[in-house]
Amino acid sequence: MEIYAVKINGFVNPMGLLFDTLLCSWKVRGAKGKKQAEARVEVSLDPALDTLLYETGGADLDALGVPLKLELAPYTRYYCRVTVTSDLGETAQSDVCWFETAKLDEPWTAQWLGFEDDTRHPEFGKTFRLDKAVAQARLYICGLGLFEADINGEKVGDDFLAPFVNDYEAHVQYCTYDVTPLLAPDNALRVRLGKGWWMGRFGLAGQKYPHRGFALIAELRVRYQDGSEAVIGTDGSWSCRGSVFELTDIYDGETQNHLLWAGRENPWRPAKTIDAPTALVARYSPPLHAMEALSVQEIIHTPAGETVLDFGQNLAGYVEYRQPLPKGTALTLEFGEILQNGSFYHDNYRSAKSVFHYVSDGEPRLIRPYFTFFGFRYARVSGLAAVDASAFWARAVYSDMEPVGRLETGSAKINRLHENTLWGLKSNFLDMPTDCPQRDERLGWTGDAQVFCRTAGYLMDTRGFYAKFLRDLRSDQLRCGGKAAIYLPNNMPGTTSAVWSDIAALLPDMFYDYYGSRDMLALHYPLMKDWVDSVRREDKARGEKHLWDFGFHFGDWLALDGATEQSVFGRTDDGFIASAYYHASAACVARAAALLGKAEAEEYARLAQDIRRAILGEYFTQTGRLAIDTQTGYLVALKFGLYADKARLLEGLRARIKKDCNRIKGGFVGATMMNTVLAENGLEDIAYDFLFFEGFPGWLYAVNLGATTIWERWNSVLPNGMISGTGMNSLNHYSYGSVVEFLYRNSAGIAPLCPGFRRARIAPLPDNRLAHLNCSYDSAAGRYVSGWKILEDGSVDFHIEVPFGCEAELVLPEQKPRSLAAGSYDYHIKTARDYRAPYTANTPLERLLEDPRAVAVLEKYLPDTLRTLDCSDVEAMSKSLVDQRRRAQVFRAPTEGCDRAIEAILKIRG
Ligand code: BGC
């Protein structure tokens, strides 16, 4: 028995975090027992935990998050240990972990420093001597827009782009670093600043922020071995001068010119103190690190005469160069996601220049940007006499989170789709969930985050990451009268849209489902409630129809049923979508209020009911038919339970899909929920058909064209390899990767029944085209496993694992549900349905025609149909043998051929 993943607020050994909640969580594995009989959490000021400061224990201690009720002191490290005894009497003790406070309410003794010259980038410096032996030293620091500090030439900490993305109108985060090992008796502390999100060009309209300037505050606190302390803070005794940075911009890139001052005066001058440019708050961002290092897969000499490096994977981050460059060498790297006609291309970055320039002074150093990042697979290199592939490495930059999901199937293409989604996440989890990492946006678009959050939760432990985003959403909302943003950092305050702004209720709801902490739900509750209240107020002002049928909405963004295939707005009525999300958000508030024991729980449940009634009145016919005949319309109604007659709705959805020739029509709203909704309403076969559809529009279309991430549009790239447009066309947009939720939640079948996955429903859905599936999900409560394999005789083997302290309701095909306690289980099931059978009578002809066995059947029994079939006629190809038979009946033609063909098709196996 082993205790693992001991975390504080979702972080491993967090240093200098903002601890306004203090929750200790852990997991147990390898136990013989099934559940916890007793648990204990101890907190101490000493690593040996000889003297305890706080202790809590009992049978009911919740491993999903035990509040540590401590009066925290500033600048203090607390040690923490968890002990668990199982119901069989086994006992395990965790490693000692820790968390350390930053300044709390302690005032800064340091002063802010500024830099008046807007035309240059500053570096600040301080030299100092430490006369006594140092026991420990911490640097508390914030530099605006971005900072990198070094002590005696060694980088402080391993963060990238600190202090990250902030709600700048409210505050910026300061970071805490352990700098003990960097100090010597004589020291030089140097801090360089870049513009970043604070003062660079940034926002939907490429906003600039001339009222914001470079600024630095830092406090080095040294504790000597004799117990005395020294504080070296920024003040007028610090120096500053121009740095080697000529340009630092999130969109445009970076120019680092190490000869900038060659032959010119650039003396260290006394630094100037300034008034605080903004408030400070202890860091609450998870660590933002340079993670994977990817080598060059190929050096391409393009028809345009360029040298382009191919890293084989689209990602967000930067390229580093690991060889010395002779003095005067000017290395330029430009970034792109795709080649066009074999040559470098990045017109889809729109106005983002995305260039890294480096001018060498001949000094050996690791060459890399400090204050920008790029979204890329390819880098165009210029300025080098010879290009040595081994000198270049791409570094993926993202918030450091623990990977929790693993999924592998018998389909290489689906495995690639999963991988592409994971890379989509990595590329867009750079401290905030962004839409894309390359063009002139890279914004925390809330709609994208909302549709993807439940997928992300299966892939990574997103607790720290989403807690940060939720805090920023709340902080922004407080300035916007309850309205929730369409993107962060918000420079369009007060603008809202359904689905996007509904993140205010839906992300806390996901957070509770996945991480199960009531304390966090309580923290997020005001964000949820204020959001719903803001829509409610507007509805009331318009006569209280209980509908959100007014205002601006993105609607079913990028759906294919809009005015044209390149239109950004879909066909589904915006008022219907918005009202459905208003209902969903109100229902989330009602649920949260009930869980938290709030008096208003009833009121919000009634509000949700009123909205539901109004939707049924406005958007359904009197007899229960949905008056909005689009895929997204039906899917939204099914997802949120908005119907009087479910069978009618399902019938409408099936018919709509047929009328749409089995093609996806939905966009950010419909397509992202489609497969889970289908599967949860008994239509998993249709969901699998969409998943495996290889053409446009479909998930495998991009995979077939060599995509390594998820594209913004279904047809971002055309079959001939040409990009379909430049206006709204990122090749690294994770939204449509939401289909991966279907793989975990439905194909593997692992879904939460109780918050934090303490109880799960495991209902795997085998499919012949996947052949087998192995999935593990290390949920907040522990690791679930669900695997299945279709055997040669058509029976299915299932392997299920339920973690310690958890229970599952297992629903295997054609079986009665079983209750499972923690443990490992294997089942061999022979169902009436033969899972080797790839086709049904309803399989469209276009699928049958891909299989020579099926073609042989058609040749034998329906030769005329086969001869006259026009393969380019999408509608004719979408018909099934059942449709053929119906048609024959209508025209009084013989149906025997169809009957025989159906019989033979149903006999095909494998
Ligand atoms: C972004 C989207 C975003 C949208 C708003 C786009 O420019 O890239 O992903 O959600 O605007 O509809």
Summarised one tens digit per residue, pLDDT across range 338-349 is 999 999 999 999
Beta partners for 114?
A: 215, 272
Phi and psi based region of residue 568 (left: phi greater than 0; alpha: psi -120 to 50; beta: remaining): alpha
* Mean pLDDT score, 730-747: 97
* For ligand 1, atom 12: residue with the closest CA: 554
What are the pLDDT digits (tens) for 485-530? 999 999 899 999 999 999 999 999 999 999 999 999 999 999 999 9
- Report the pLDDT value the prediction gives residue 116, as an integer from 0 to 100: 83
Instruction: Give residue 706 CA to ligand 1 midpoint distance, Å.
Output: 24
Instruction: Give residue 555 CA to ligand 1 midpoint distance, Å.
Output: 11
Instruction: Give residue 722 CA to ligand 1 midpoint distance, Å.
Output: 22
Length of the chain: 910
Confidence of residue 893 (pLDDT cuts 50, 70, 90): confident
Beta partners for 340?
A: 343
Helices 503-515 and 446-459, axial angle in degrees (round to 10): 10
**Residues with C-beta less than 6 Å from any ligand 1 atom:** 435-436, 441, 445, 447-448, 554, 557, 728, 733
Which amino acid, residue 347? D
For ligand 1, mutation pick of 434, 445, 492 (most atoms within 8 Å of CB): 445
Which segments of 327-436 does DSSP mark as H helices, in order? 412-427
* For ligand 1, atom 5: residue with the closest CA: 554
Instruction: Give residue 445 CA to ligand 1 midpoint distance, Å.
Output: 7
**Cα–Cα dist 901/753, whole Å:** 43
Instruction: Give residue 170 CA to ligand 1 midpoint distance, Å.
Output: 25
Instruction: Give residue 500 CA to ligand 1 midpoint distance, Å.
Output: 10
Helix (H), strand (E) at residue 890: helix 881-890
- Report the pLDDT value the prediction gives residue 206, as an integer from 0 to 100: 76
Kindly give the number of the ligand 1 atom that is closest to the alpha carbon of 447.
Answer: 10
Chain-centroid distance of CA 174 in Å reads: 24
Kindly give the number of the ligand 1 atom that is closest to the alpha carbon of 712.
Answer: 9
Residues 199 and 213 sit within 8 Å (Cβ to Cβ): yes
What are the pLDDT digits (tens) for 250-294? 999 999 999 999 999 999 999 999 999 999 999 999 999 999 999
Strands (E), 9-93: 15-17, 23-29, 36-44, 52-58, 66-67, 77-86, 91-93
Kindly give the number of the ligand 1 atom that is closest to the alpha carbon of 448.
Answer: 10
Strands (E), 426-522: 429-430, 432-433, 444-445, 487-488
* For ligand 1, atom 3: residue with the closest CA: 445
For ligand 1, mutation pick of 448, 502, 552 (most atoms within 8 Å of CB): 448
Kindly give the number of the ligand 1 atom that is closest to the alpha carbon of 557.
Answer: 12
State the distance between the two ends of the chain, measured CA to CA, in whole angstroms: 42
Q: Which residue has the tokens 């929750």?
A: 23
Instruction: Give residue 643 CA to ligand 1 midpoint distance, Å.
Output: 30
Pick from 51, 115, 169: which is nearest to 478 by CA?
Answer: 169
Pick from 264, 263, 387: which is nearest to 319 by CA?
Answer: 387
Kindly give the number of the ligand 1 atom that is closest to the alpha carbon of 558.
Answer: 12
| Predicted confidence (pLDDT) at residue 118 exceeds the cutoff of 80 | no
* Mean pLDDT score, 648-663: 96
* For ligand 1, atom 2: residue with the closest CA: 435
Residue-wise burial string across 718-745, b where 16 or more C-beta atoms lie within 10 A, e elsewhere: eeeeebbeeebbbbbbbbbbbbbbbbbb
Instruction: Give residue 435 CA to ligand 1 midpoint distance, Å.
Output: 6
* Mean pLDDT score, 869-881: 92
| Predicted confidence (pLDDT) at residue 13 exceeds the cutoff of 90 | yes
Which segments of 187-298 does DSSP mark as H helices, in order? 196-199
Residues 826 and 799 sit within 8 Å (Cβ to Cβ): yes
Range name among 553-567, 633-647, 744-758 with the lowest pLDDT average? 553-567
- Report the pLDDT value the prediction gives residue 558, as an integer from 0 to 100: 92
* Concatenated DSSP letters of 168-221: TTT-EEEEEEE-GGG--SEEEEEEEEE-HHHHSS-STT----TT---EEEEEEE
* For ligand 1, atom 1: residue with the closest CA: 435
> Residue 239 contacts by C-beta under 8 Å, 6 or more apart in sequence?
124, 125, 126, 268, 269, 270, 271
> Residue 543 contacts by C-beta under 8 Å, 6 or more apart in sequence?
none
| Predicted confidence (pLDDT) at residue 366 exceeds the cutoff of 80 | yes
Kindly give the number of the ligand 1 atom that is closest to the alpha carbon of 204.
Answer: 7
Beta partners for 693?
A: none
* For ligand 1, atom 7: residue with the closest CA: 728
- Report the pLDDT value the prediction gives residue 776, as an integer from 0 to 100: 98
* Mean pLDDT score, 27-35: 97
What are the pLDDT digits (tens) for 197-226? 999 989 887 788 888 999 999 999 999 999
Confidence of residue 638 (pLDDT cuts 50, 70, 90): very high
* For ligand 1, atom 11: residue with the closest CA: 445
175 CB neighbour count, 10 Å cutoff: 25
Q: Which residue has the tokens 């119906």?
A: 886
**Cα–Cα dist 405/403, whole Å:** 6
- Report the pLDDT value the prediction gives residue 464, as an integer from 0 to 100: 97
Instruction: Give residue 450 CA to ligand 1 midpoint distance, Å.
Output: 12
* Concatenated DSSP letters of 471-514: HHHHHHHHHTTTPPPSEES-SSTT---TTTTTHHHHHHHHHHHH
Instruction: Give residue 218 CA to ligand 1 midpoint distance, Å.
Output: 37
What are the pLDDT digits (tens) for 397-420? 999 999 999 999 999 999 999 999
* For ligand 1, atom 4: residue with the closest CA: 445
> Residue 180 contacts by C-beta under 8 Å, 6 or more apart in sequence?
134, 135, 136, 137
Instruction: Give residue 144 CA to ligand 1 midpoint distance, Å.
Output: 27
Kindly give the number of the ligand 1 atom that is closest to the alpha carbon of 728.
Answer: 7
Output the CA angle 448-451-455, nearest 5 degrees: 110
- Report the pLDDT value the prediction gives residue 207, as an integer from 0 to 100: 80
Instruction: Give residue 442 CA to ligand 1 midpoint distance, Å.
Output: 10
Tokens describing residue 113: 């420093």
Instruction: Give residue 245 CA to ligand 1 midpoint distance, Å.
Output: 31
Which amino acid, residue 383? G
- Report the pLDDT value the prediction gives residue 331, as an integer from 0 to 100: 98
Confidence of residue 567 (pLDDT cuts 50, 70, 90): confident
Q: Tell me whether residue 414 is exposed, middle or buried, using C-beta atoms within 10 angstroms of its C-beta: 0 to 12, 13 to 18, 19 or more.
A: buried
Q: What are phi and psi of 679, to 5 degrees?
A: -65, -35
Q: What are phi and psi of 701, to 5 degrees?
A: -55, -50
What are the pLDDT digits (tens) for 283-329? 999 999 999 999 999 999 999 999 999 999 999 999 999 999 999 99
Tokens describing residue 134: 């140092």
Query: Is the CA virtual torsion 257, 236, 197, 152 positive or negative?
Result: positive
**Cα–Cα dist 452/837, whole Å:** 33
Kindly give the number of the ligand 1 atom that is closest to the alpha carbon of 668.
Answer: 10
What are the pLDDT digits (tens) for 750-762? 999 999 999 999 9
Pick from 148, 174, 151: which is nearest to 159 by CA?
Answer: 148
Chain-centroid distance of CA 573 in Å reads: 28
Residues 556 and 577 sit within 8 Å (Cβ to Cβ): yes
| Predicted confidence (pLDDT) at residue 421 exceeds the cutoff of 80 | yes
Instruction: Give residue 166 CA to ligand 1 midpoint distance, Å.
Output: 20
Confidence of residue 579 (pLDDT cuts 50, 70, 90): very high
Q: What is the pTM of this model?
A: 0.97
Confidence of residue 117 (pLDDT cuts 50, 70, 90): confident
